[in-house]
Amino acid sequence: MAVTPVPPEVAAELRKGGKVAVATAGVAAADLDELLPGVAYEAADVDVMGPAPWAVDEPSAVAVVARTPTDLRRAVALGDALPDAHVVAVIVLESPQWCDAPGVRLSPGLGRKFLRDLAVSRHGKSGWRVRTRFSHPRPAGEVAAAVARGFGAHQLGGYALPAAGLAGSGLAAWRPGDPGARFSDTHGPAPDRADVPAADLAVRAAVAPGAAAEWNDERVTIVDRDADPSWARIGAPGGYGVLRDVTIEPDAVPPVDERSVNPRGFLKTPAKGYGTLERHDGATVVRLEDRTLTRLPGSGAVTDADIGRLRRLRGVRVTWRHTHGGPIAAARTVASLAAAGVPMLCDPVPDWAARGLGPGLTVLLTGATERELADDLRREEHSVRLRRTALGTHGTTARWRSLAAGSGVPLPPDPTVSVVMCTRRAGLVPFALGQIARQRGVDVEVILGLHGVAATAPEVRDAVAGFDGRVTVVEAEPEAPFGVVLNRAAARASGSFISKWDDDDWYGPDHLADLVLAQGYSGAELVGVASEFFYLQQIDVTVRRNWTSETMSDHVAGGAFIVSRSAFEALGGFRPVPRAVDVQFFQALLRAGGAIYRTHGLGFVARRAARGRHTWQEPVGYFLARARDQWPGFRPSGLMDAGA
Amino acid sequence: MTVPTGTPGTPGTTDGPGASGASGRPPRIRHNDYGVLAPPEPGTWRPRLSVSVVIAAYGHQDKLDLTLAALAAQSYPSHLTEVIVVDDGTEPALRLPDIVPENTVLLTTEPGRRGRSDARNTGLAHATGDVVHWLDADMVTFHDEVEEHMRWHHLADHLVVMGYVRYVEHRPGSPTPAEVHAAVSAGAADKLFDEERSEPHAWIVELAERTDGLRTAGDTAFRVHVTNAASVNARLLREAGPLDTALVLGEDTELGYRLAQAGAAFVLAPGARSRHLGLSMMMRDKERIRRYNHAYVPGFIPHMRWLRAHPRRQWPVPYAEVVVEAAGASYEDVRATVDGVLAGSLHDLVVTLVGPWDAAREDRRNPLHSTHLDLLLLRGLYRGEPRVRFAATVPPTAAPAPYRLVCPPGWVPGPETLRRLVEHAAQHGHGLVSVALDEGEDAVLAARLEHTGAFARAALVREPGEPLDTAVHDVSGTHWMDGASLGFLPAAEAEPPKRGRTDDPALTREMARLRADNARLTETLAARGGSGAPAAVEPTIPSPRGRWFRTSRR
């Protein structure tokens, strides 16, 4: 690819005083001369380098050069190995359209107190460049981690336990973006920190055949990962046996970096037709008609920038001769596209690929037809099913939980959700609790706020008694403002997230699971759905509004979001006012520096009943004027169905 | 209304009527998409319906002989077939030749009532069949021509089927009726003429190519009702017909239009083959016929919008009928509504004011205390206004007008409102557009724009107890719109239209709306052009040509 050189003043700064240590990720070594004109450097590629790759002792500066934010996140996983320097630069050559300038928040306990200069600039057409200068040499990995984190909304760059070890070269993709990952050679030991090993569980690269697979640290559980057998080897005489002998299963596939390869940027109404995932000129590419839209890495490490190039496609047709890497790379490529919600049509999946993808994804991939994908709503439903399954099977979090579970390493509990549902209408309590009861894939408790309704009202009493789960009932006097009632209920919540719930709206069975999933990949404090579907009860019509979803936003549907309990508590909860509590809270959160992410709106239908009986005050024509689609009757998306 | 409370109903988006239909119900044709009908293969089914072949003839006994010889060799059962030949005053009179179908009658038109339309109407009046098949008196049909028509008619009772005609050169005396009968019987009608030099019915072929064989032709499909080879369900034809004898040319097109208003769907049957002996009049005299038709026909066919582009003209058949219920409403409210309608840019309409006009009588001594005083005032106000008519009840259909708007009194459309509303309906093929105006506790007050043909078809296919609007949704789609965005205002907020005033408040409001629209679009465009937008980040590797082009311009 054509590379934009760094500006002369940057080159001058890097040139000062000796050799620059360059860590590359996803960038060909040959491109560095063009990028860093006149700079003396020594380069190492994070995808092949060992624990001590640079010969230069005290580099004048360190530059981390990544093709995309996704590539940068692999460098972060090996941050341990990057040297210290006064000047550290991070250059990302291209980023997807939704990627804003990175914030660079170094930990106050680490490098921030030594930071003397910081500059963030656009690099080329869609890249970003960060330059830091410290009063004392600082580990370059710390800067790489801050920049990688700064591209997203996560307050913390780490992952939940287990603490990960990477034993051997080429494993950075197993823990992308995790500054806590520990890097060693294939024999161990895992480095110690305060006399205990710095990892709970390590993946280890395949050792050469015949070499002793010894491991020197019995305190750390090790999981061996086979190298991807190349098609050349499989294709050689007798080579087909390799396919039989190599373990191909989802856990053998390097995980999808869910914090950068995810549904963000999904387009509901694509402008283009179908691309084809295929082999062309010796590379894995997606082509549209006779043009190559993007060349994908042979390893299957699809990046966010690659996904960005596919967003305008209605879908991608998958052929299974697409990769030069091997069967694991092939599965990894398709799993990545699925995690990003790229709608795919698929030839029958060969057995080796099905083993790598897992049964859920395999079934989904072959289930869609071109006729269905021609309809924007059906297409989006297909995309949502793909992302859920792919992220739940192949995401980094899912992968490490699966590895840990298989190795007996202890795991923290999954996040829990407290549903706060306040109502003035006893008659709706059975309906609302029914909607909550059908939530699946999350651990839920209900805080039922009764706003001028007695807990002893028969409908309430029976519904609560019949609810299979934890319910806490909170009563409030009828004259209390809605915000006060909500806060009183929320004060009883014990979950990691608080979910606001409306008493008369419809929620798909995966509503909460989808929100928790989106929170995991977006890192936003508050995640909600796009307020798309409305059932206009008076005229028996369902309308769909045309919101952009899978995007950072300033608002979501008021009755369908989750917010982290810590953020909720930090802001003190809802304003003690009778209405518009959601909008007030969104504004407070954004002004405090928080993020709101809007995921898809297919699992939620707001009921719009007669005026005066509902918080929505707009006349029915308001919804009609803004509808992109409408159908007679109650016609939610296919994802509202429990069988979906 | 039943409101769903538990598990959602059928999810879906654009499921057609075929998918939504209850099992066992005949499929419903949406717009003109007759693709839902699956006729049986010729020769493999048992016919049940009878057909009357109606032939209007004037002169050319020799060609008539061939036409009848071919009809005598049809595969369709003769006990289900009658042939009615109408002699439109030929001298000497036409006669039935030796080779004729079993049930053939010869009628003659009365002097003083002659012409193609009269002759065909005479035949229609005598027809007893379930289906009427128009045929010209100079057509040689293939052996299964009638069967090809009839297999469609067995699937629905509101079809017009057009056969496939080619025009062949013909020399009198060759072939003979016996040769024609023999060839058609043997299924070899295509050996009778010089097929190489034959010509198709060009405009129908072009229309078919453009519209997937008429399936996507929508409101323009009626044009294929051509009386040289079309067949029509007889009940439908009697409801919509007969031919308008005031029209000397284009009369079949005009009847086709009325058939569409009665709910007809139009099928092209390429298998219903026939050969026309000699060129048609249309082919001989294309330009002069077009000139003639363009003067006479568009007035009766409002869908010919491009021929009715004049902003102020009125036509015999208006594009829309606006129904306003005057009974029970105040003079001021009704006046506001009707004045708003009459001031709109959609001028091609009539207003039907509905009320007990006969009961409204002036008290001549004490006029201010007349019963139905408000009705009296309305009648006085609109007396002499050619676009307002008075009716005691809402007419059962707006036909022949293709659209009807039912507007509640007291709601006033703006200058562009009705034009936009009807254009929207026409563009999307909606059978019903409901316009939300206002709402109470449990009901929404709406104006309704109804597509005449869609409502007629819905009434034909509707099942007992089924709401008519539901059937309309199946055959044409129903849609809701916001009244405020369209420019409807309550009478209290709308100012009366004023002549010659450039600061007409309604126009001012319309301009403000357009400005706001413009601003919104500009903003959208700007947002697209800025960050994060699809347009800004066309993710392709530039082609060599593009790159060269860019470099050379620098």
DSSP assignment string, A399-422: HHHHHHHHHT---PPPPEEEEEEE
CB atoms within 10 A of CB B512: 10
A382 has pLDDT over 50: yes
Q: Closest Cα to residue B104, out of B154, B54, B149?
A: B54
Structure token digits, residue B234: 């007889």
Average pLDDT value for chain B: 88
Structure token digits, residue A14: 């890097």
User: Locate tokens 């410290």: which residue?
Assistant: A134
Cβ pair A611:B443 closer than 8 A: no
pLDDT for the residue numbered A212: 57
Interface test with A, best of B10, B434, B439 (most A CBs within 10 A): B439
Average pLDDT value for chain A: 91
C-alpha dist (Å) from residue B52 to A118, B61, B228, B392: 92, 21, 14, 39
pTM: 0.88
pLDDT for the residue numbered B85: 97
Residue B233 φ then ψ, to 5°:
-55, 130
Question: A277-291, A297-311, B343-357 — which is least confidently predicted?
Answer: A277-291
The predicted-structure confidence for A351-381, as pLDDT tens digits, reads as follows 889 999 999 999 999 999 999 999 999 999 9
Question: Can you tell me the distance from the alpha carbon of B354 to that of A302, in angstroms, rounded to the nearest whole number?
Answer: 69
Q: Is B92 on the interface with A (CB under 8 A)?
A: no
A241: Cβ–Cβ under 8 A, 6 or more apart, which residues?
none
Q: Return the H-helix or E-strand segment holding A364.
A: helix A359-367
Interface test with B, best of A68, A97, A342 (most B CBs within 10 A): A97
| Burial (Cβ within 10 Å: 0-12, 13-18, ≥19) of residue A234 | middle
Kindly state the percentage of chain A with pLDDT values over 70. Answer: 95
- How open is the CA angle A135-A137-A140, to the nearest 5 degrees? 120
Question: A183-197, A205-219, A491-505, B89-103 — which is least confidently predicted?
Answer: A205-219
CB-CB neighbors (< 8 A) of B540 in chain A: 291, 293, 309
Cβ pair A126:B537 closer than 8 A: yes
**Nearest CA of chain B to the CA of A98: how many Å?**
5
pLDDT for the residue numbered A369: 92
pLDDT for the residue numbered B5: 39
A639 has pLDDT over 70: yes
**Nearest CA of chain A to the CA of B536: how many Å?**
9
Any alpha helices (H) in A182-313, and if so which ranges?
A: 231-235, 240-245, 304-310
- The closest CB to that of B13, out of A126, A377, A610, belongs to A377
pLDDT for the residue numbered B301: 96
A232 has pLDDT over 90: no
pLDDT for the residue numbered A615: 47
Cβ pair A631:B481 closer than 8 A: no
Structure token digits, residue A425: 């209408």
A291 has pLDDT over 80: yes
CB-CB neighbors (< 8 A) of B439 in chain A: 538, 610-611, 619-620
Cβ pair A293:B540 closer than 8 A: yes
Report residue A356 CA to chain centroid gap: 20
pLDDT band at A216 (very low <50, low <70, confident <90, very high): confident
pLDDT for the residue numbered B544: 36
Structure token digits, residue B398: 């707006």
B3 has pLDDT over 50: no
Average pLDDT over residues A474-488: 96
Cβ pair A291:B543 closer than 8 A: yes
**Chain B residue nearest residue A295, CA to CA:** B541
Kindly state the percentage of chain B with pLDDT values over 90. Answer: 73
Structure token digits, residue B152: 């469609």
| Bridge partners, A2 (sequence order) | none
Average pLDDT over residues B493-522: 80
Q: Closest Cα to residue B145, out of B156, B133, B137?
A: B133
B443 has pLDDT over 90: no
**Chain B residue nearest residue A505, CA to CA:** B5
Q: Is B473 on the interface with A (CB under 8 A)?
A: yes
DSSP assigned state of A395: B
pLDDT band at B534 (very low <50, low <70, confident <90, very high): very low
pLDDT for the residue numbered B541: 35
pLDDT band at A210 (very low <50, low <70, confident <90, very high): low
**Nearest CA of chain B to the CA of A316: how many Å?**
15
Average pLDDT over residues A141-159: 94
Question: Can you tell me the distance from the alpha carbon of B272 to that of B147, in angstroms, rounded to the nearest whole number?
Answer: 8
The predicted-structure confidence for B277-293, as pLDDT tens digits, reads as follows 987 666 678 888 899 99
Cβ pair A97:B442 closer than 8 A: no
Average pLDDT over residues A319-325: 73
Cβ pair B482:A625 closer than 8 A: yes
Interface test with B, best of A303, A538, A608 (most B CBs within 10 A): A538
Average pLDDT over residues B60-67: 95
- The closest CB to that of A621, out of B12, B14, B485, belongs to B485
The predicted-structure confidence for B86-119, as pLDDT tens digits, reads as follows 999 999 999 999 999 999 999 999 888 888 899 9
Interface test with B, best of A634, A639, A641 (most B CBs within 10 A): A634
Report residue A519 CA to chain centroid gap: 8
User: Locate tokens 């299964």: which residue?
Assistant: B144
pLDDT for the residue numbered B20: 38
Cβ pair B434:A635 closer than 8 A: no
Question: Can you tell me the distance from the alpha carbon of A437 to that of A459, in angstroms, rounded to the nearest whole number?
Answer: 16
**Nearest CA of chain A to the CA of B343: how many Å?**
24
Residue A275 φ then ψ, to 5°:
-90, 165
The predicted-structure confidence for B183-205, as pLDDT tens digits, reads as follows 999 999 999 998 898 889 888 99
Cβ pair B439:A311 closer than 8 A: no
pLDDT for the residue numbered B529: 53
C-alpha dist (Å) from residue B526 to A312, A553, A555, B530: 19, 18, 21, 6
The predicted-structure confidence for B5-53, as pLDDT tens digits, reads as follows 333 333 333 333 333 334 567 889 999 999 999 999 998 999 999 999 9
B337 has pLDDT over 60: yes
> Do the beta carbons of residue B429 and residue B403 sit within 8 Å?
no
pLDDT for the residue numbered B24: 64
pLDDT for the residue numbered A13: 86
pLDDT for the residue numbered A2: 78
**Chain A residue nearest residue B538, CA to CA:** A309
pLDDT for the residue numbered A544: 96
C-alpha dist (Å) from residue B76 to A534, B141, B226, B547: 55, 12, 22, 68
Cβ pair B11:A632 closer than 8 A: no
pLDDT for the residue numbered A644: 54
Cβ pair B11:A312 closer than 8 A: no
CB atoms within 10 A of CB B126: 13
Question: Which residues 66-85 of B are in CB contact (within 8 Å) with A?
Answer: none
Question: Angle at which helices A327-339 and A359-367 pack, to 10 degrees?
Answer: 70
> Do the beta carbons of residue B171 and residue B237 sit within 8 Å?
no
3-state secondary structure of B467: coil
pLDDT band at B368 (very low <50, low <70, confident <90, very high): confident
Largest CA distance in chain B: 93
Beta-strand (E) ranges in A35-126?
41-45, 61-66, 84-92, 115-123
Q: What is the dihedral of CA A462, A465, A466, A472, to 10 degrees?
A: 110
Cβ pair A538:B444 closer than 8 A: yes
pLDDT band at B551 (very low <50, low <70, confident <90, very high): very low
Question: Can you tell me the distance from the alpha carbon of B380 to that of B357, in angstroms, rounded to the nearest whole number?
Answer: 12
pLDDT band at B259 (very low <50, low <70, confident <90, very high): very high
CB-CB neighbors (< 8 A) of B4 in chain A: 535, 634
B137 has pLDDT over 60: yes
C-alpha dist (Å) from residue B338 to A572, B298, B354, B420: 57, 26, 12, 17
pLDDT band at B530 (very low <50, low <70, confident <90, very high): very low
Cβ pair B537:A97 closer than 8 A: yes
Cβ pair B480:A641 closer than 8 A: no
Cβ pair A641:B11 closer than 8 A: yes
pLDDT for the residue numbered B554: 31
pLDDT for the residue numbered A195: 77
Average pLDDT over residues B419-443: 93
pLDDT band at A209 (very low <50, low <70, confident <90, very high): low
CB-CB neighbors (< 8 A) of A642 in chain B: 7
Question: Can you tell me the distance from the alpha carbon of B337 to that of B349, in angstroms, rounded to the nearest whole number?
Answer: 14
CB-CB neighbors (< 8 A) of B434 in chain A: 539
pLDDT for the residue numbered B182: 96
pLDDT for the residue numbered A439: 96
pLDDT band at B367 (very low <50, low <70, confident <90, very high): confident
Average pLDDT over residues A498-511: 96
B427: Cβ–Cβ under 8 A, 6 or more apart, which residues?
none
- The closest CB to that of B439, out of A98, A271, A619, belongs to A619
Cβ pair A631:B12 closer than 8 A: yes
CB-CB neighbors (< 8 A) of A633 in chain B: 9
B514: left (phi over 0), alpha (psi -120 to 50) or beta: alpha
Q: Closest Cα to residue B217, out of B460, B471, B429?
A: B429
**Nearest CA of chain A to the CA of B6: how many Å?**
7
The predicted-structure confidence for A594-630, as pLDDT tens digits, reads as follows 999 999 999 999 998 876 655 446 889 999 999 999 9
pLDDT band at A227 (very low <50, low <70, confident <90, very high): confident
**Nearest CA of chain A to the CA of B340: how many Å?**
21
A457 has pLDDT over 80: yes
